[in-house]
Chain A
């Protein structure tokens, strides 16, 4: 009987670059910047690392195929390095590779890297992905972009709960306002200006009903983690170290798009979060989760995700949001670091960047953003589209807690 990942793997060190328009740095430069912080934090030597994973999504514009670029950039000691890609879950997938390698006993030290260089394409937004759909889908899929894909969810949500779209837009606006307030406090965030609800509501339309300020930033960045066993962490003199409590992935199998779906929730997130809470031993997430970094690629994604994480009741996320439940001063602060909203979404790096904030908060290193006594931190990625996606969830906390 599988016992899950809880407390089997410790995070020994983490690193994260400043996210932003890093016009003059290559993906390799960004990887090194994150890695140097991470390995100094971990307090081990590079040649102790036995295996590495790198998450990167748009390989065509980044480092190309294979993990060779990561091995070259960090001059890794001819070890196993594997490139993983699973849409927006790519960073968390990289982490999962490293965590499972340690949990299996195959490695003492494993490295998870994530990087994405989005600003090398010459236009705003995510890179166009028609050629990445595959030879069949590229002949019938709609003329769709990321904001358009998620915008549909807002119309589905409004219809399901009989809301006027403007009511949903107001709650969505608060989602962005809250994240910007947090991002303003974070020196590593790309967008560091607070915004008002009025500014969000008045921002130019991108894909109905999403305005520009309902969309996350677009940035370059890298993040990484070194993981080991709790026993080794202890032997290295680490106290109150952070361990992985849960690590779950769920992928659509076609039911939402093809069979049956209310168009107002993420089937995958609902399932992955349930599995993650069971793995972490969490009974009541609304009470027990202290903080979250969720996939706020668009404000509506975060709004709906609050329900799929079983923290807001179905149909009640707008009220919780407007009540400030997810603000930094609220019961379950969400996007404490500013979220994708302020960091942007260098896809391969995002999952690890989220873990980095949870790690800092749990270790009391979050500076102006520091929360009081956080216990469990949850990270969440959602890649693809509402009706066809990859969801990853990680929960971290202190060892033995």
Chain B
């Protein structure tokens, strides 16, 4: 873990990972779309509208997964003062917020034909909306201080506090009898989805994951470059 604390070393590894993630995402995107839009059968009840699932479910998973990454980075930053963990957490937050927004939007679009409403205040939807606000708060807190170090640490504490929301999201469909359907893939008795729909879903999931890694690397690079630029400017001002 401390092996990665050196920004240069981290960047070398990130540079090595990036082409694989970006290339894999570029390859998987058309494949996953083809599987989801053409190969996968329409649902016997929902018809073609079920295809929204192939965007909605991976986006919702990623929304939670990325928050977990943000919280893990925050914890590593607070406990071990790991500089790159903080950078990574900060870089991941806007991506996670976008995934959350996508999940909320596609859920709304899916809900209109299926439930007859764009939005209901059921437990799953509300807790995901809270997740979205937590992302926004995390990002806003980062920028709220003159001292970037201070902002990063304060945001890290908030990131850890927000962790209480994740189990609520995960189990909201079990604890409350909601309009949102209960878990149908990660279950003790195996998924209740037909394999013909499961495989396109997993392919899409792979694409979302690789896309996330690629964008994360780009954003981390941009942040490191920004920091270096600020240091150079400070140095130039010191000499002048």
A binds B: no
